[in-house]
Copies of this chain bind each other. A is one copy, B any other.
Amino acid sequence: MKALLLKNLKSPLIPTVIPKPKATKNRSRIKLSFAGLNRRDYWIQQGQYPRIDLPVVLGSDGLGIDETDGRRVFFNPGLNWGENQASQQPEFQLVGMPDQGTLAEYISVPADKIYEVPDHLTDPEGACLPLAGVTAYRALFIQGRLQPGQKVLITGVGGGVASLAVKLALAKSAQVYINSSSDEKIETVISWGCINGWNYRTDLEWLQNAKEEVGGFDLILDGAGGETVKDYIDVLRPGGRLVAYGATLGPWTQVPAAKVFWKQIHLTGSTMGSDQDFADMVDFVREHQVRPYVDRVFSMDEANQAFDYLINPEAFGKIVIKINAH
């Protein structure tokens, strides 16, 4: 079968014929029609990820036909989370390194990880839901304990997780606020039902403006980290929570500990999700007809352009690859 192979770090993916994986007693084979990309795929390509094992077929997300029963399916890419809901065990790993990923015509995955795709989702929407979906779901609802009516700020709303978190939070009937460096993205996301958004690049007083308008957020969902976290503590209400699912801007500097204890703040980390979180996410998406925001669909031939686009500041939401070589 045809697959896109990463043979060397910082090098393009190379279309390669590799053996077709086999179904076994506990694993089903899926004939893939679309793969969803994640930042992780890019970081591995760039060598910025622990324990990289080459060559590898990247891709944690995908949608296709389960050859066992003909259903349209996707799967939970998180393997070996373990039974502890509070955190993953050391053996936790994702489909798409070291195991073969979804940038290929077929994939074999454990049957108990496979879910029928909710009917309301298109193929590209379904293909990019799993990893961003479970990450946003756990961060908002498990670690963040978001309740209907609460005020949540979702930062950097152009990202795949953040844009999906907005949709999930709106479906939960939260009052959703956003920030971004792009007026255009803010406008689009507000049109989904958010109350307001601020451009942190051009509006230098956005934090003060947010505080005056909102009073204080119950929850802030952040994937950037860095020095802004100290400001976020100012705009949390007493007893409020900040959940971090990423740290693209690096360590939190100068966290005002006295405010953290006086305001009884919770700063909580969140990574992906358990098998239970995944199942609950799929149920929630089906019940509330949540749809991921798909920015662009690339062909398999354009996969390297798609990887470049992943870190383009104009990218917005999810990037999908059509597995078009059958």
A residues in contact (CB < 8 Å) with B: 84, 86-89, 143, 225-226, 229-230, 237-239, 244-247, 250-271
Q: Give the complex CA separation of A238 and B268 in angstroms.
A: 12
26 CB < 8 A contacts A-B:
A84-B239, A87-B237, A87-B238, A87-B264, A88-B264, A229-B257, A245-B261, A246-B261, A247-B258, A250-B257, A251-B254, A251-B258, A252-B252, A252-B254, A252-B260, A253-B255, A257-B269, A259-B269, A260-B267, A261-B269, A261-B270, A262-B269, A262-B271, A265-B268, A266-B266, A266-B268
**Residue among A229, A254, A267, A268 with most chain B CB within 10 A:** A267
Given contacts A252-B252, A266-B267, A267-B268, whether A261 and B239 have CB atoms under 8 Å apart is no
**Residue among A239, A255, A256, A271 with most chain B CB within 10 A:** A255
Q: Give the complex CA separation of A298 and B316 in angstroms.
A: 67
Q: 7 more A-B contacts (CB under 8 A) besides A252-B260, A260-B267, A260-B268? A: A88-B238, A89-B238, A143-B264, A226-B257, A251-B254, A253-B255, A261-B270
Q: Give the complex CA separation of A230 and B255 in angstroms.
A: 11
Collect the chain B residues with CB atoms within 8 Å of residue A255's CB: 229, 251-253, 255
Q: Give the complex CA separation of A255 and B259 in angstroms.
A: 16
Collect the chain B residues with CB atoms within 8 Å of residue A258's CB: 225, 247, 251
**Residue among A253, A256, A269 with most chain B CB within 10 A:** A269
Q: Are A247 and B261 in contact (CB under 8 A)?
A: yes
